[in-house]
Structures are given as C-alpha cells and as structure tokens.
Amino acid sequence: MRIVCISDTHSQVIPDDQMPDGDVLIHAGDITNNGKIFWLQKQAEWFRHLVDTKYEHLVFCAGNHDFILDAFRKENAETALPNLFGSTRIHYLRDSSCVLRFPGERSVRFYGTPWVNCGSWAFSEEDRLNRRAYFNLIPSDTDVLISHGPPYGILDRCENEAHGFGPAGDIELLNAVERVRPLLHVFGHIHDGYGQAAYGSTRFVNAASTQIKGEYVLGNAPIVVDL
C-alpha cells in the first residue's frame, strides 16, 4: 500500500503534477485557514477531484484552524460530512477508525484524532488529563495513526519566533504512540518539523505542506510511504 502524506494546506490546493501517485492520501489537518464553510467546501471539491483521479481513498483528520469541523458534534459530523465531501472513499476521522483493504494485501486500520494544546483554536484541549482520555481511545491494533499535532520530541521543533522555539509536541500523545506502536504516524501542525524519522517499529511523518513566511506558503513536497 502506497500512502501519500500531506498536512496544513490552509485552504490551498497542491497542483496535480506535484501530487505523487499512491493508493491512499492522508491529510493530517488544517484543511482550511480560517475555518469558514466556504473554504471547507472548496477543499471538499479538491478532495473529490483527488479520489476521482489519483487515489483510491483519502483519509483525514481536522486541525486547529478547522473551526467549522469543531462546530460539528461527532454524531452530526458523521452524517453531514459524507454529503459535503460527496464520496464514500473520503474518510473523516475524529477519534474514530476506518479499515481499508486492497486486493492481495491485509486490512489496514487508520485512526485519526485532531486534539492539540493550542489556546483558543479549534480542537484545542489545554487539560492534559482530557487529552490523555482522547488519546487513550486509540485502539491497540491501529496500523496508521493520524493526528494533527506531533508527539513530544519527534519532528516537533519550532524554529520561528511567532510560534515559539523548541519542542512543541504532546507528551500524552507520545505515551499513546508508545502504547499502540503503529507502523506509521502522520501529523503536521509544527511546520518547522517537516520530514520523517523512524524509531523502533514506527515511521513518523510530519507532512506539513506549507512553510510559515509571514503567511502560509506551499513549499514542502508530499511525503510517500510504502507500508
């Protein structure tokens, strides 16, 4: 299974010729920049185009800029979003899983969670115990974990004054990753941490597609992982 990873597109569209071929596209949140329904609809159009032309499935979670998705309660999102995104091959994961299988391959479980500690932004939970409770929901048989933010100490280092310096990942998420030990963990949020690394049996991908240069500028290539 070839997985293409992107994140933090902030209402922008990556040109087709810059999107590698693959079986599954993962987007790890911050689909929109200001959380307005207009921009979510525009991204939905892009998502439908991608599953119509390049990918069998698209799996994504929300990010701290995606206020419109935070406004949906989970049970409402599950009924409203299939109509918005218009395809059963687009999977929105909010503390939930989907299982995908391709011919000749075993089933792969994807799990997505959006929660970060990020002030008054969407999907922000400052209480560490509450974040622990969310991350404790991640099933132990998860193969691919998608979160908006990184785990503490892994591709999470800020290098810009606007967002602070130093590691910015979540220790509670790290604890969950160490418990679950997924094959692949995809995230974004900390744009300066873009890249990939492997620790133990888990490959970590910070797939942030934009760089912060006073504004969000596309500049980081999608990352391809063969699972």
Q: Give the domain range for residue 6.
A: 2-226
The CATH number of the domain holding residue 74 is 3.60.21.10
- pLDDT for 61 equals 96
- pLDDT for 159 equals 77
The string over 79-90, giving b where at least 16 C-beta atoms fall within 10 Å of a residue's C-beta and e elsewhere, is: eebeebbeeebb
**Max CA-CA distance within the chain?**
48
Reading the chain (227 residues) residue by residue, the pLDDT tens digits are 999 999 999 999 999 999 999 999 999 999 999 888 889 989 999 999 999 999 999 999 999 999 888 876 555 555 566 677 778 899 999 999 999 998 888 899 999 999 999 888 999 999 999 999 999 999 999 999 999 999 999 999 887 655 566 788 999 999 999 999 999 999 999 999 999 999 999 999 999 999 987 789 999 999 999 98
Question: Under a CB-based contact definition with an 8 Å cutoff, are residues 125 and 134 in contact?
Answer: yes
Number of domains within the chain: 1
- pLDDT for 75 equals 53
- pLDDT for 70 equals 87
Closest CA to 68 of 98, 44, 97, 95: 44
